[in-house]
Structure 1
């Protein structure tokens, strides 16, 4: 199961699916989920909905992972062939210059950097914003760039190889957020293909999470599940530049995390996980012998699809089960595959026990 999960992750992270331009990831998810699901629907906006019916009536469970990644889009093509770009999502300015990128998923480019030999002392200390950067595709004119098929608005993603560390359980690449959970979703449907359970499971790969959690809201209104689990990633606090105990007590290798509360702003982007769904995660984690890290992450620029999904339809009881990763929203995100396996095991147990426990607030 570990190797299967790794292989799916390797294939998924090789794709560029910047928010709003997730087509390649959507095609991949549809193709893979069709092998195991009873039905797979792709809605007009690109949300992938895989349906698996149980052998008895019961509640509708939605498990949602977003398919998009942070990235950029072409803003303008200069007469000399260099390309200006916008951010799509919250990419860090600190990791822009000197990076390889792919435009439209296949056209290679480089975010330029002024030679260190020519930088002033002030320039050497300064972090250039995305508005001050440019992309070089090896062209000498606007016409040459356009002949490559590049147009204003085209998506741009990081190019980053899939790298196993010396300890092969640790994997570094781009878009671990959230291709890790797309891989988990595929593997979950593989595992439950011949399993008997009550009700119906909807495995959903949502679009545009990184730019406002739009896909989750669309699908929540369409399906109106009885409850939902949002599967995503979360920053870890276990590096020298973070005070983990004070700011973020989340560690790689200590299991998936259940986020009790998160939010960028109180209101639309604030989520408090439903106590009934938290209880289900907690109980099935204990049955499976999987350690779960519990945390809150409020006011720190972190939110998930649950922020929109929880008030879709008539209101959906939601909780968040997330996989820790280091170096968030960079081309070198790092994950421990065992944390993902723990999340997968919990989800499989939850599906098997679907309908055995009533979702209650009090």
Structure 2
């Protein structure tokens, strides 16, 4: 088991507890810039709000460009309307299952950055017909109770239509401290991976220019990666995102927390570059890391839009398994996090023009 002190736990706490749905990622991007500025040569934003941190290669002008991409946005809600009685109707931003919402605390972030706490309404089971008990409430039918009596009282709190709503969940080390619970691990844990990689690379030479893109609006259409890739114009890209752990009594199918790195061979929107997958396998072997493979038949990552841009970008996804994705509380494992950081750091150290040409030739991209 890797040593706890290898990672910055406070960084993960700050990333998890920050509030940021699609199009409103400012709190998260400020954490990215404040942490990453000491390990970057340049920081820029694109016009969708993605923040891009650059770590220059030792040749300064002539190395291949690597894009690491992790999305900052979490699934959440907006204020859709306010009733005369002071209840707040919700508009889902990203994919929610109604089962995970009733009786959960939520935070409204106002235009003045005030934090207003409410609870999602639920019903007592007493006397409910079985068909009502068995029915999943649709997220659009849910409401937030702020504990006030009128629309005017809600407005006096500073709440207005379109305000961001996110789960009110503190970061927590579980009873086995290798297990970390918090909100927004999709995809804030991978934002942490990108920042830790930049920190590691600041202590060693690398030929490639490394660009870490903390992207926006992935949960609502994989939008931020599309604009960030045009800003960077990378030669190769690694999307860092989560995948579904299946090690609970609900699933029991084998994707366990704590078993190491996950190479995504394909998902429903992207086929990973085969040479890139092979290079990752070589590094895993050299570093004595643990490895498993992911074939996600539903959903995709930032790689979906990155690999189709310009003339095409050599791309794949590395995944971290998480329990309870797209719910207020998710659980990840430190070992998966640490091993992914090690893998990505070493990949960035190794990639040069010769290696890149080998990756391209793996899918028939050759001048011969």
TM-score, structure 2 normalization: 0.92
Report the Cα distance in structure 1 between the residues aligned to 2:239 and 2:8, rounded to whole angstroms.
19
The aligned counterpart of 1:267 is: none
| 1:306 is aligned to 2:312 | no
* Aligned residue runs from structure 1 range 66-105, under 5 A: 66-104=71-109
| 1:357 is aligned to 2:355 | yes
* Aligned residue runs from structure 1 range 140-151, under 5 A: 140-151=149-160
The aligned counterpart of 2:126 is: 117
Segments of structure 1 that go 5 or more residues without pairing to the other structure are 264-269
The aligned counterpart of 1:29 is: 32
Contact 2:22 2:218 in 1 (8 A): yes
3-state secondary structure, aligned to 1:290: coil
| 1:284 is aligned to 2:283 | yes
The structure 1 segments of at least 4 consecutive aligned residues displaced by more than 4 Å after TM superposition are none
Report the Cα distance in structure 2 between the residues aligned to 1:40 and 1:196, rounded to whole angstroms.
20
Contact 1:6 1:337 in 2 (8 A): no
The aligned counterpart of 2:170 is: 161
Report the Cα distance in structure 1 between the residues aligned to 2:108 and 2:42, rounded to whole angstroms.
33
Q: Deviations over 1:320-345 (max 9, x none)?
A: 11111111111121111110100000
Pairwise CA RMSD of aligned residues? 1.5
Q: Deviations over 1:71-94 (max 9, x none)?
A: 111110111110101111111111
Residue 237 of structure 1: how far off its partner (Å): 1.5
Report the Cα distance in structure 1 between the residues aligned to 2:100 and 2:231, rounded to whole angstroms.
38
Q: Deviations over 1:111-130 (max 9, x none)?
A: 01123336444433332111
The aligned counterpart of 1:325 is: 322
Report the Cα distance in structure 2 between the residues aligned to 1:5 and 1:281, rounded to whole angstroms.
24
Residue 9 of structure 1: how far off its partner (Å): 0.9
Report the Cα distance in structure 1 between the residues aligned to 2:74 and 2:255, rounded to whole angstroms.
22
Instruction: Evaluate the alpha carbon distance shift between residue 2 and residue 224 of structure 1 in structure 2; reply closer, same or farther with a 3 A threshold.
Output: farther
**Residue correspondences, number:** 350
Q: Deviations over 1:125-179 (max 9, x none)?
A: 3321112211011221111111211111111111112222221001111111111
TM-score, structure 1 normalization: 0.93
| 1:17 is aligned to 2:20 | yes
3-state secondary structure, aligned to 2:39: coil
Residue 230 of structure 1: how far off its partner (Å): 0.5
The aligned counterpart of 1:254 is: 259
Q: 2:147 aligns with which of 126, 138, 161?
A: 138
* Aligned residue runs from structure 1 range 111-260, under 5 A: 111-117=120-126, 119-242=128-251, 244=253, 249-260=254-265
Contact 1:58 1:354 in 2 (8 A): no
The aligned counterpart of 2:45 is: 42
Q: Deviations over 1:15-37 (max 9, x none)?
A: 11111111100111111111210
Segments of structure 2 that go 5 or more residues without pairing to the other structure are none
